[in-house]
Amino acid sequence: MAADYVSPFDERVRPAEPLAARPAGIRGRRVVLLDIRKNRGAEFLDQIETLMQAAGAATSRSAKEIFSKPAALALIGEIAGRADLVVEALAD
Q: pLDDT tens digit string along 72-88?
A: 999 999 999 999 999 99
pLDDT tops 90 at residue 11? no
Q: pLDDT tens digit string along 40-80?
A: 889 999 999 999 999 999 999 999 999 989 999 999 999 99
Model pTM? 0.77
Strand spans (E) along 1-92: 30-35, 58-63, 85-89
**CA dist., res. 33 & res. 56, Å (int):** 15
Among residues 88, 83, 89, 87, the alpha carbon closest in space to that of 29 is found at 83
Among residues 31, 85, 39, 45, the alpha carbon closest in space to that of 66 is found at 39
> Tell me, what's the pLDDT at 92?
65
